[in-house]
Chain A
Amino acid sequence: MAEYTNPDVLVSTDWVTEHLHDSHVRIVESNEDRALYTQGHVPGAVEIDWQVDLQDQVRRDYVDRASFEKLCLANGISNDTTVVFYGDRNNWWACYALWVFKLYGHKDCRIMNGGRKKWQLEGRAWSNERVHVQPGHYTAPEQDGSIRAFRDEVLKHQRAGRPLVDVRSPEEYCGDRLHMPDYPNEGALRGGHIPGAVNIPWPLSVNEDGTFKPAKELEKLYVNSAKLKRRSPTIAYCRIGERSSLTWFVLTYLLGFAKVKNYDGSWMEWGNCVGVPVVKGTTPDGAPAAHS
Protein backbone atom coordinates (compact mmCIF):
# COMPACT_ATOMS: atom_id res chain seq x y z
CA MET A 1 0.00 0.00 0.00
CA ALA A 2 1.86 3.03 -1.30
CA GLU A 3 -0.79 5.69 -0.74
CA TYR A 4 -3.52 6.46 1.77
CA THR A 5 -6.95 5.16 0.78
CA ASN A 6 -8.43 8.69 0.98
CA PRO A 7 -5.47 11.04 0.56
CA ASP A 8 -7.79 14.06 0.11
CA VAL A 9 -8.88 13.92 3.73
CA LEU A 10 -5.47 15.30 4.68
CA VAL A 11 -4.51 18.78 3.58
CA SER A 12 -1.04 20.27 3.88
CA THR A 13 -0.07 23.49 5.62
CA ASP A 14 0.60 24.88 2.11
CA TRP A 15 -2.95 24.02 1.06
CA VAL A 16 -4.33 25.80 4.10
CA THR A 17 -2.19 28.87 3.39
CA GLU A 18 -3.58 28.95 -0.15
CA HIS A 19 -7.18 28.64 1.08
CA LEU A 20 -7.15 31.14 3.96
CA HIS A 21 -9.58 33.40 2.10
CA ASP A 22 -11.61 30.70 0.39
CA SER A 23 -15.26 31.22 1.37
CA HIS A 24 -16.02 27.51 0.88
CA VAL A 25 -13.40 26.54 3.44
CA ARG A 26 -13.60 26.97 7.21
CA ILE A 27 -10.46 26.30 9.24
CA VAL A 28 -11.29 25.03 12.74
CA GLU A 29 -8.88 24.75 15.67
CA SER A 30 -9.53 22.22 18.47
CA ASN A 31 -7.08 22.01 21.35
CA GLU A 32 -6.24 20.43 24.64
CA ASP A 33 -5.35 23.92 25.90
CA ARG A 34 -7.94 26.52 24.94
CA ALA A 35 -5.65 29.48 25.60
CA LEU A 36 -3.43 28.37 22.69
CA TYR A 37 -6.07 29.52 20.22
CA THR A 38 -6.34 32.86 22.03
CA GLN A 39 -2.56 33.21 21.94
CA GLY A 40 -2.39 32.64 18.20
CA HIS A 41 -4.24 30.70 15.55
CA VAL A 42 -4.11 30.15 11.81
CA PRO A 43 -5.36 33.47 10.38
CA GLY A 44 -9.14 33.33 9.99
CA ALA A 45 -9.52 30.03 11.86
CA VAL A 46 -12.41 29.64 14.32
CA GLU A 47 -12.21 27.60 17.51
CA ILE A 48 -14.52 24.71 18.33
CA ASP A 49 -13.78 23.31 21.75
CA TRP A 50 -14.28 19.60 22.42
CA GLN A 51 -15.41 20.14 26.01
CA VAL A 52 -17.39 23.35 25.93
CA ASP A 53 -18.83 23.30 22.39
CA LEU A 54 -19.13 19.65 21.42
CA GLN A 55 -20.15 18.03 24.70
CA ASP A 56 -23.41 18.42 26.53
CA GLN A 57 -22.63 20.16 29.82
CA VAL A 58 -25.12 18.10 31.84
CA ARG A 59 -25.45 14.60 30.35
CA ARG A 60 -22.35 12.61 29.39
CA ASP A 61 -22.99 12.89 25.68
CA TYR A 62 -22.42 15.11 22.68
CA VAL A 63 -24.51 18.18 21.99
CA ASP A 64 -27.86 17.39 20.41
CA ARG A 65 -28.68 18.01 16.79
CA ALA A 66 -30.18 21.47 17.33
CA SER A 67 -27.13 22.63 19.30
CA PHE A 68 -24.81 21.22 16.66
CA GLU A 69 -26.68 23.16 13.97
CA LYS A 70 -26.41 26.32 16.06
CA LEU A 71 -22.68 25.75 16.57
CA CYS A 72 -22.14 25.42 12.81
CA LEU A 73 -24.21 28.52 12.08
CA ALA A 74 -22.24 30.57 14.59
CA ASN A 75 -18.95 29.41 13.11
CA GLY A 76 -19.89 30.15 9.53
CA ILE A 77 -20.17 26.52 8.56
CA SER A 78 -22.83 25.44 6.07
CA ASN A 79 -23.64 21.92 4.92
CA ASP A 80 -21.41 22.29 1.85
CA THR A 81 -18.45 23.94 3.64
CA THR A 82 -15.08 22.19 3.53
CA VAL A 83 -14.12 22.04 7.21
CA VAL A 84 -10.42 21.67 7.95
CA PHE A 85 -9.56 20.72 11.53
CA TYR A 86 -6.21 21.17 13.20
CA GLY A 87 -4.94 21.50 16.75
CA ASP A 88 -2.32 20.81 19.38
CA ARG A 89 -1.16 17.36 20.54
CA ASN A 90 -0.68 15.85 17.10
CA ASN A 91 -4.24 16.68 16.10
CA TRP A 92 -5.92 14.30 18.50
CA TRP A 93 -8.63 16.82 19.46
CA ALA A 94 -8.88 17.82 15.82
CA CYS A 95 -9.64 14.18 14.97
CA TYR A 96 -12.13 14.07 17.84
CA ALA A 97 -13.92 17.17 16.52
CA LEU A 98 -13.89 15.70 13.02
CA TRP A 99 -15.44 12.51 14.37
CA VAL A 100 -18.27 14.48 16.02
CA PHE A 101 -18.85 16.36 12.74
CA LYS A 102 -19.07 12.97 11.01
CA LEU A 103 -21.55 11.81 13.68
CA TYR A 104 -23.76 14.60 12.38
CA GLY A 105 -23.04 13.64 8.80
CA HIS A 106 -20.92 16.61 7.74
CA LYS A 107 -19.74 15.69 4.29
CA ASP A 108 -16.41 17.40 3.68
CA CYS A 109 -14.15 17.18 6.72
CA ARG A 110 -10.34 17.25 6.51
CA ILE A 111 -7.36 17.40 8.81
CA MET A 112 -4.44 19.78 8.37
CA ASN A 113 -1.61 17.25 8.51
CA GLY A 114 0.82 18.10 11.31
CA GLY A 115 -1.54 20.47 13.14
CA ARG A 116 -0.26 23.38 15.24
CA LYS A 117 3.13 21.74 15.63
CA LYS A 118 3.95 21.70 11.92
CA TRP A 119 2.54 25.21 11.37
CA GLN A 120 4.86 26.41 14.14
CA LEU A 121 7.89 24.42 12.92
CA GLU A 122 7.50 25.96 9.48
CA GLY A 123 7.47 29.46 10.98
CA ARG A 124 4.06 30.33 9.51
CA ALA A 125 2.09 33.34 10.69
CA TRP A 126 -0.18 33.23 13.74
CA SER A 127 -3.00 35.68 14.30
CA ASN A 128 -4.55 36.61 17.63
CA GLU A 129 -7.31 38.72 16.17
CA ARG A 130 -10.92 37.90 16.90
CA VAL A 131 -12.45 36.16 13.92
CA HIS A 132 -15.86 37.29 12.69
CA VAL A 133 -17.65 35.07 10.23
CA GLN A 134 -20.83 35.24 8.20
CA PRO A 135 -23.34 32.85 9.77
CA GLY A 136 -23.79 29.57 7.91
CA HIS A 137 -26.93 27.69 6.92
CA TYR A 138 -27.08 24.31 8.52
CA THR A 139 -29.41 21.34 8.74
CA ALA A 140 -28.03 18.27 10.48
CA PRO A 141 -29.43 14.76 10.28
CA GLU A 142 -29.75 12.50 13.33
CA GLN A 143 -26.46 11.03 14.57
CA ASP A 144 -24.79 8.42 12.37
CA GLY A 145 -24.74 5.29 14.51
CA SER A 146 -22.32 3.54 12.17
CA ILE A 147 -19.25 5.24 13.65
CA ARG A 148 -20.17 5.29 17.36
CA ALA A 149 -20.27 2.25 19.64
CA PHE A 150 -22.17 2.08 22.92
CA ARG A 151 -21.41 -0.24 25.83
CA ASP A 152 -23.91 -3.04 25.07
CA GLU A 153 -22.72 -3.26 21.52
CA VAL A 154 -19.10 -3.40 22.65
CA LEU A 155 -20.01 -6.26 24.98
CA LYS A 156 -21.68 -8.22 22.15
CA HIS A 157 -18.75 -7.44 19.86
CA GLN A 158 -16.31 -8.71 22.49
CA ARG A 159 -18.32 -11.89 23.12
CA ALA A 160 -18.38 -12.57 19.38
CA GLY A 161 -14.58 -12.38 19.36
CA ARG A 162 -14.52 -9.42 16.98
CA PRO A 163 -11.54 -7.08 16.75
CA LEU A 164 -11.01 -4.35 19.32
CA VAL A 165 -8.16 -1.85 19.42
CA ASP A 166 -7.06 -0.36 22.72
CA VAL A 167 -5.04 2.75 21.86
CA ARG A 168 -3.97 3.69 25.40
CA SER A 169 -0.44 3.46 26.73
CA PRO A 170 0.93 -0.03 27.51
CA GLU A 171 0.74 0.80 31.26
CA GLU A 172 -2.97 1.56 31.07
CA TYR A 173 -3.60 -1.49 28.86
CA CYS A 174 -1.98 -3.96 31.22
CA GLY A 175 -3.74 -2.43 34.22
CA ASP A 176 -0.74 -1.00 36.03
CA ARG A 177 -2.20 2.46 35.86
CA LEU A 178 -5.73 3.78 35.64
CA HIS A 179 -5.03 6.85 33.55
CA MET A 180 -2.57 7.92 30.92
CA PRO A 181 0.86 8.97 32.13
CA ASP A 182 0.68 12.48 33.61
CA TYR A 183 -3.04 12.85 33.04
CA PRO A 184 -5.66 13.32 35.74
CA ASN A 185 -7.22 10.11 36.96
CA GLU A 186 -10.84 10.65 36.14
CA GLY A 187 -11.93 7.73 38.22
CA ALA A 188 -12.03 4.21 36.81
CA LEU A 189 -12.49 1.61 39.52
CA ARG A 190 -10.76 -1.20 37.63
CA GLY A 191 -7.63 -1.23 35.47
CA GLY A 192 -6.84 -3.45 32.51
CA HIS A 193 -8.42 -3.91 29.08
CA ILE A 194 -11.37 -5.45 27.27
CA PRO A 195 -10.52 -9.13 26.62
CA GLY A 196 -9.39 -9.64 23.05
CA ALA A 197 -8.34 -6.03 22.47
CA VAL A 198 -4.96 -5.50 20.84
CA ASN A 199 -2.85 -2.66 22.18
CA ILE A 200 -1.68 -0.19 19.54
CA PRO A 201 -0.85 3.05 21.35
CA TRP A 202 -2.07 5.99 19.27
CA PRO A 203 1.29 7.87 19.04
CA LEU A 204 2.63 5.06 16.84
CA SER A 205 0.50 6.55 14.04
CA VAL A 206 2.25 9.92 14.00
CA ASN A 207 5.68 11.29 13.13
CA GLU A 208 7.80 13.61 15.22
CA ASP A 209 6.48 16.68 13.34
CA GLY A 210 2.86 15.75 14.09
CA THR A 211 2.07 14.42 10.60
CA PHE A 212 0.64 10.95 10.06
CA LYS A 213 3.04 8.14 9.25
CA PRO A 214 3.17 7.00 5.62
CA ALA A 215 0.60 4.45 4.41
CA LYS A 216 3.18 1.67 4.27
CA GLU A 217 4.11 2.06 7.93
CA LEU A 218 0.50 2.29 9.08
CA GLU A 219 -0.32 -0.83 7.08
CA LYS A 220 2.57 -2.66 8.72
CA LEU A 221 1.44 -1.59 12.17
CA TYR A 222 -2.30 -2.24 12.00
CA VAL A 223 -2.64 -4.91 9.31
CA ASN A 224 0.60 -6.91 9.20
CA SER A 225 1.54 -6.88 12.88
CA ALA A 226 -1.79 -6.49 14.68
CA LYS A 227 -3.66 -8.61 12.11
CA LEU A 228 -6.62 -6.24 11.89
CA LYS A 229 -8.73 -6.80 8.79
CA ARG A 230 -10.17 -4.11 6.57
CA ARG A 231 -13.55 -5.81 6.23
CA SER A 232 -14.05 -6.84 9.87
CA PRO A 233 -16.15 -4.53 12.03
CA THR A 234 -13.60 -3.00 14.41
CA ILE A 235 -14.04 -0.94 17.58
CA ALA A 236 -11.40 1.47 18.92
CA TYR A 237 -11.37 2.80 22.46
CA CYS A 238 -9.13 4.68 24.89
CA ARG A 239 -9.97 6.59 28.08
CA ILE A 240 -12.69 9.01 27.00
CA GLY A 241 -12.71 8.43 23.26
CA GLU A 242 -10.33 11.21 22.24
CA ARG A 243 -7.16 9.29 21.38
CA SER A 244 -9.25 6.57 19.74
CA SER A 245 -10.79 9.21 17.42
CA LEU A 246 -7.33 9.59 15.94
CA THR A 247 -7.01 5.83 15.48
CA TRP A 248 -10.57 5.71 14.06
CA PHE A 249 -9.49 8.38 11.56
CA VAL A 250 -6.35 6.45 10.59
CA LEU A 251 -8.18 3.15 10.12
CA THR A 252 -11.15 4.63 8.29
CA TYR A 253 -9.60 7.20 5.99
CA LEU A 254 -5.93 6.43 5.69
CA LEU A 255 -6.14 2.62 5.63
CA GLY A 256 -9.63 2.21 4.20
CA PHE A 257 -11.18 0.00 6.90
CA ALA A 258 -14.87 -0.42 6.11
CA LYS A 259 -16.56 -0.50 9.51
CA VAL A 260 -14.73 1.18 12.36
CA LYS A 261 -16.53 2.53 15.39
CA ASN A 262 -15.21 4.73 18.15
CA TYR A 263 -16.33 3.67 21.63
CA ASP A 264 -16.40 7.08 23.31
CA GLY A 265 -17.55 5.63 26.64
CA SER A 266 -14.13 3.95 26.62
CA TRP A 267 -12.31 3.02 29.81
CA MET A 268 -14.06 5.70 31.89
CA GLU A 269 -17.24 3.68 31.31
CA TRP A 270 -15.95 0.12 30.94
CA GLY A 271 -13.62 0.33 33.95
CA ASN A 272 -16.60 1.31 36.11
CA CYS A 273 -19.22 -1.10 34.70
CA VAL A 274 -20.44 -3.88 36.96
CA GLY A 275 -20.07 -7.36 35.53
CA VAL A 276 -18.24 -6.68 32.27
CA PRO A 277 -15.17 -8.76 31.47
CA VAL A 278 -11.77 -7.20 32.18
CA VAL A 279 -8.31 -8.71 31.93
CA LYS A 280 -4.94 -7.41 33.05
CA GLY A 281 -1.57 -8.02 31.45
CA THR A 282 0.25 -7.42 28.22
CA THR A 283 -1.61 -9.81 25.92
CA PRO A 284 -5.15 -9.50 24.45
CA ASP A 285 -6.52 -12.42 26.47
CA GLY A 286 -4.63 -11.42 29.59
CA ALA A 287 -2.42 -14.51 29.60
CA PRO A 288 1.21 -13.94 30.50
CA ALA A 289 3.26 -13.04 27.42
CA ALA A 290 5.15 -15.98 25.92
CA HIS A 291 8.90 -15.68 26.28
CA SER A 292 11.05 -17.29 23.64
Chain B
Amino acid sequence: MNTVSGRIDGVVGEFADLDGREKLELLLDFAARLPALPPEYAARKGSEDRRVHECQTPVFLWPDVQGGVTRLYAEVAPEAPTVKGFVAILADVVEGRPVDEVLSIGDDLLERMGLAHVLGILRTRGLRAIVGHIKRGVLAASTTPHGTPPP
Protein backbone atom coordinates (compact mmCIF):
# COMPACT_ATOMS: atom_id res chain seq x y z
CA MET B 1 0.00 0.00 0.00
CA ASN B 2 1.52 3.26 -1.10
CA THR B 3 -0.20 5.32 1.58
CA VAL B 4 1.51 6.98 4.56
CA SER B 5 0.42 4.17 6.82
CA GLY B 6 1.45 1.51 4.29
CA ARG B 7 4.89 3.12 3.94
CA ILE B 8 5.22 3.27 7.72
CA ASP B 9 4.46 -0.44 7.91
CA GLY B 10 7.22 -0.96 5.35
CA VAL B 11 9.75 1.05 7.39
CA VAL B 12 8.73 -0.72 10.59
CA GLY B 13 9.27 -4.03 8.77
CA GLU B 14 12.76 -2.94 7.70
CA PHE B 15 13.69 -2.19 11.30
CA ALA B 16 12.10 -5.34 12.73
CA ASP B 17 14.46 -8.17 13.71
CA LEU B 18 17.55 -5.93 13.72
CA ASP B 19 19.64 -5.59 16.85
CA GLY B 20 20.27 -2.13 18.34
CA ARG B 21 23.48 -1.59 16.43
CA GLU B 22 21.89 -2.64 13.12
CA LYS B 23 18.95 -0.33 13.72
CA LEU B 24 21.36 2.59 14.12
CA GLU B 25 23.21 1.50 10.97
CA LEU B 26 19.94 1.47 9.03
CA LEU B 27 19.09 4.89 10.45
CA LEU B 28 22.48 6.13 9.18
CA ASP B 29 21.64 4.75 5.71
CA PHE B 30 18.46 6.81 5.73
CA ALA B 31 20.39 9.86 6.99
CA ALA B 32 22.82 9.58 4.06
CA ARG B 33 19.88 9.61 1.63
CA LEU B 34 18.25 12.82 2.88
CA PRO B 35 18.32 15.08 -0.19
CA ALA B 36 20.14 18.38 0.10
CA LEU B 37 17.90 21.39 0.64
CA PRO B 38 17.00 22.92 -2.75
CA PRO B 39 18.78 26.28 -3.20
CA GLU B 40 15.53 28.28 -3.09
CA TYR B 41 14.81 26.86 0.39
CA ALA B 42 18.39 27.17 1.58
CA ALA B 43 18.23 30.87 0.69
CA ARG B 44 15.20 31.28 2.96
CA LYS B 45 16.85 29.61 5.96
CA GLY B 46 17.97 32.85 7.54
CA SER B 47 14.78 34.82 6.97
CA GLU B 48 12.09 32.29 7.97
CA ASP B 49 11.61 30.70 11.34
CA ARG B 50 12.04 27.13 10.11
CA ARG B 51 14.30 25.91 12.84
CA VAL B 52 12.84 23.22 15.08
CA HIS B 53 13.39 24.63 18.53
CA GLU B 54 12.80 21.28 20.22
CA CYS B 55 16.06 20.07 18.69
CA GLN B 56 19.41 20.88 20.11
CA THR B 57 21.30 20.75 16.82
CA PRO B 58 20.24 22.86 13.85
CA VAL B 59 17.23 21.22 12.19
CA PHE B 60 15.28 23.13 9.53
CA LEU B 61 11.99 21.80 8.21
CA TRP B 62 9.72 22.98 5.43
CA PRO B 63 6.60 20.84 5.43
CA ASP B 64 4.97 21.94 2.18
CA VAL B 65 1.57 21.24 0.63
CA GLN B 66 0.99 21.92 -3.08
CA GLY B 67 -2.18 20.80 -4.87
CA GLY B 68 -3.22 18.78 -1.84
CA VAL B 69 -0.07 16.70 -1.61
CA THR B 70 2.71 16.89 0.91
CA ARG B 71 6.44 17.24 0.54
CA LEU B 72 8.98 17.70 3.28
CA TYR B 73 12.18 19.65 2.67
CA ALA B 74 14.69 19.46 5.45
CA GLU B 75 18.23 20.18 6.54
CA VAL B 76 19.81 18.57 9.58
CA ALA B 77 23.33 19.22 10.88
CA PRO B 78 25.73 16.30 10.31
CA GLU B 79 26.49 16.10 14.04
CA ALA B 80 22.94 14.83 14.61
CA PRO B 81 22.74 11.70 12.42
CA THR B 82 19.93 10.17 14.50
CA VAL B 83 17.70 13.18 13.88
CA LYS B 84 18.79 13.31 10.24
CA GLY B 85 17.91 9.65 9.69
CA PHE B 86 14.53 9.99 11.33
CA VAL B 87 13.70 13.14 9.33
CA ALA B 88 14.76 11.33 6.13
CA ILE B 89 12.35 8.50 6.96
CA LEU B 90 9.53 10.97 7.57
CA ALA B 91 10.31 12.79 4.30
CA ASP B 92 10.05 9.47 2.39
CA VAL B 93 6.87 8.51 4.18
CA VAL B 94 4.93 11.74 3.51
CA GLU B 95 6.22 12.41 -0.03
CA GLY B 96 3.32 13.09 -2.39
CA ARG B 97 0.60 12.00 0.05
CA PRO B 98 -2.52 13.90 1.14
CA VAL B 99 -2.59 15.91 4.35
CA ASP B 100 -5.06 13.72 6.23
CA GLU B 101 -2.75 10.73 5.85
CA VAL B 102 0.17 12.73 7.25
CA LEU B 103 -1.92 13.85 10.21
CA SER B 104 -2.69 10.22 11.00
CA ILE B 105 0.95 9.31 11.77
CA GLY B 106 0.84 7.75 15.22
CA ASP B 107 2.84 8.80 18.28
CA ASP B 108 4.20 5.26 18.63
CA LEU B 109 6.33 5.25 15.47
CA LEU B 110 9.67 5.03 17.32
CA GLU B 111 8.38 2.26 19.55
CA ARG B 112 7.17 0.32 16.50
CA MET B 113 10.58 0.71 14.86
CA GLY B 114 12.16 -0.59 18.06
CA LEU B 115 14.22 2.58 18.34
CA ALA B 116 12.73 3.91 21.58
CA HIS B 117 14.68 1.56 23.82
CA VAL B 118 17.86 1.99 21.78
CA LEU B 119 17.71 5.77 22.10
CA GLY B 120 16.31 6.18 25.60
CA ILE B 121 13.43 8.23 26.96
CA LEU B 122 14.72 11.75 26.41
CA ARG B 123 15.93 11.27 22.84
CA THR B 124 12.71 9.49 21.92
CA ARG B 125 10.72 12.40 23.27
CA GLY B 126 12.81 14.84 21.23
CA LEU B 127 12.25 12.89 18.00
CA ARG B 128 8.54 12.51 18.69
CA ALA B 129 8.35 16.30 18.89
CA ILE B 130 9.58 16.42 15.28
CA VAL B 131 6.57 14.38 14.12
CA GLY B 132 4.30 16.87 15.89
CA HIS B 133 6.19 19.73 14.30
CA ILE B 134 5.72 18.28 10.80
CA LYS B 135 2.02 17.63 11.35
CA ARG B 136 1.46 21.19 12.55
CA GLY B 137 3.44 22.52 9.59
CA VAL B 138 1.49 20.44 7.08
CA LEU B 139 -1.80 21.51 8.60
CA ALA B 140 -0.77 25.17 8.46
CA ALA B 141 0.45 24.80 4.86
CA SER B 142 -2.78 23.14 3.77
CA THR B 143 -4.92 25.97 5.10
CA THR B 144 -3.09 28.82 3.37
CA PRO B 145 -3.95 29.78 -0.22
CA HIS B 146 -0.52 29.23 -1.78
CA GLY B 147 0.35 26.17 0.15
CA THR B 148 3.07 27.87 2.12
CA PRO B 149 2.47 29.11 5.65
CA PRO B 150 3.30 32.73 6.40
CA PRO B 151 6.77 33.29 7.83
Contact = CB atoms under 8 A, between A and B. Distances in A.
Contact of A52 (B51, B58, B117): B117
Interface stretch (A28-36, A106-114, A162-170, A193-201): A28-36
Contact of A33 (B51, B58, B83): B83
Given A38-B24, A49-B120, A52-B120, A88 B79 contact: yes
Given A35-B85, A39-B28, A184 B120 contact: no
Given A51-B119, A184-B54, A130 B82 contact: no
Contacts, number: 61
Contact of A38 (B25, B56, B117): B25
A13 interface: no
Given A182-B53, A184-B126, A33 B82 contact: yes
Interface in B81-118: 81-83, 85, 117-118
Nearest to A120: B79
Interface string A38-61: 110000000001011001010000
A122 interface: no
Contacts of A51: 119-123
Contacts of A88: 79
Nearest to B81: A35
A182 B51 contact: yes
B16 interface: no
B79 A184 contact: no
Nearest to B84: A35
Contact of A34 (B57, B79, B119, B129): B119
A15 interface: no
Interface in B7-41: 21, 24-25, 27-28, 31
Nearest to A37: B24
Nearest to B129: A184
Contact of B81 (A36, A130, A185): A36
Nearest to A49: B120
Contacts of A39: 28, 81
Nearest to A50: B120
Nearest to A240: B122
B82 A186 contact: no
Interface string A47-81: 00101100101000000000000000000000000
A35 B31 contact: yes
A146 B126 CA distance: 33
Interface string B42-66: 0000000001011111100000000
A26 B129 CA distance: 36
A129 to B, nearest CB: 11
A52 B121 CA distance: 8
Interface in A166-219: 180, 182-186
A184 B31 CA distance: 21
B146 interface: no
11 contacts: A34-B24, A35-B27, A39-B28, A52-B117, A52-B120, A130-B21, A182-B54, A182-B55, A182-B58, A183-B56, A184-B55
